[in-house]
A and B are shown apart, each in its own frame.
Chain A
Amino acid sequence: MGGLTEEDVVEAVKKTLPEGVTIGVIGPRRITARSTRSVLFKLCEHLKNQLGFEHVSCVSGVDRLDHMEVVYHISSYANQCVIEITVDIPNDNPEVDSIAPLWGGANWHEREACELFGIRFRNHPKMERLLLPSDFTYYPFRKEIKLRGR
């Protein structure tokens, strides 16, 4: 295959973005990173254009009660590895840059996270409702919406 190793990817990211990103290898083919909101888009651009991460597997929202999280799983076919990027965003301003302009595969995942968690994605090409009816008034996957028995 002849791609970069996990360590190469980590080194390259550390060199380009010394501020705002903590990154490390957690196992074979697995990299984990934590990024601030402001550098996320730069990090993703770097991953896509320089390091050969061409596929977005998943974008998930997580409600951590005191803040929200967006978790990106971005994988590389050439390097055969997956990077998991976690971004913390505050409850009072749940907004983050959209990565859908880079990878079309993130488009619907971000729309889903928006309607289920109320996370806003800046510069998303088409932010409309996807799964829920148009007259829905709340974000059903937030933890403040209680399930029966819990």
Chain B
Amino acid sequence: MWINMGPQHPMTHGLWNLRVKVDGETIVDAEPVIGYLHRGWEKLTENRVYPQIIPMSDRLCYGSSMTWSHLYCLTIENLMGVQVPERAEYIRVIVLELQRIASHLMWLAAYGTDLGLLTAFVYCMRERELFLDLLQGVTGARMTYNYPRIGGVRNDLPPDFERDCLRVLDYFEKKIDEYEEIFDGSDIFLMRTQDVGILKPSDGVNLGVTGPALRGSDVKIDLRKHDPYSVYDELDWSICTHPDCDCYARYRVRMDEMRMSCHIVREAFKKLPPGPFRVKAPRNGPRKTAFARVEDPRGEALMYVVGDGTDRPYRLKVRSPIFVIVSAVPVMLRGYKVADVPSIMGSVDMCLGETDR
């Protein structure tokens, strides 16, 4: 029997539909149905000049819009051969890592509600607001920032930003311990996540799963290390993995990554050089192609651009991490019960804006 879980279902976190084929309570097959939010984003960009696309790429994922507009600027910089000043690269790393923490916190809050830990939802959203405040201080907006520019960033860090930021990080790192007490101290949470949604490392790699989902399967891959962009190769940090391959492992990886992001921000502040934060970029893109890929909070994000010598892209293709991960979801679901669907799907961190584009 096929059951439609969605498009209106508390598990989906967005507008999509998961069709599951069940034999009694056991899932024998699954089929994600997406496309409810398809806006033709890639085609729309062909009608805009290059800088106009930056705020559009913010809307690819409201949960981590900074990484998408950064990725877009990185791609166009590769196309035009623009060299970004060093200070801008450090500022980008700082805001990207703050964004990663905010995104993981939103995921943790949603995962808490999925699994009945409503307290965790309030706690995580409360701390997420601190990071949104920080980003608002830099960019002026809470969620869709429009901050990176082709050739740097829009403005310098505000005065006293380092002090505020370090104060938040000190406070937040104590709060992570509190979250761990709530989650790891809850027998219900452990029962619903451990040994559920197993993704074997070989399957994960072949199906194109990336990001925390892959690192939760004990594959030590992080593009910030393996294909370093900005100044990640000049900072001292390490990749977080977990050997269990289940939902709990993916939760663990994200918790460790939040700590690691705090560490990266501190490192970046230590090395933050003075100097210009933006250079002027040319108006027209040359007649060639370019691509860039970054480690989004959800996995590997890639943009491929074809320039035709005008001020608009001829073609812009977006590789969304969740688009590929959701295609691998049937492998994670098979053999488990219908009641496990929320914990498995929640551990993926769905974001429909980037999936459907």
* Residues of A that sit less than 8 Å from B by CB: 29, 54-58, 60, 62-63, 71, 73, 75, 77, 80, 82, 84, 103-109, 129-133, 140-141, 145, 147-150
Contact = CB atoms under 8 A, between A and B. Distances in A.
Interface residues of B, number: 36
Contacts of A150: 46-47
Contact of A131 (B34, B227, B302): B34
Interface of B: 34-35, 38, 40, 42-44, 46-47, 203, 205-210, 219, 221, 226-227, 289, 291, 293, 300, 302, 304, 306, 314-315, 317, 319, 323-324, 327-328, 356
A62 B43 contact: no
Contacts of A73: 291, 293, 302, 304, 319
B226 A131 contact: no
B47 A130 contact: no
Given A141-B42, A150-B47, A131 B35 contact: yes
A102 B21 CA distance: 26
B323 A108 contact: yes
A129 B38 CA distance: 13
A132 B38 contact: yes
Contacts of B314: 62
Contacts of A106: 208
A133 B226 CA distance: 38
B47 A147 contact: yes
A130 B300 contact: no
A57 B47 contact: no
A82 B293 contact: yes
Contacts of B42: 141
A34 to B, nearest CB: 12
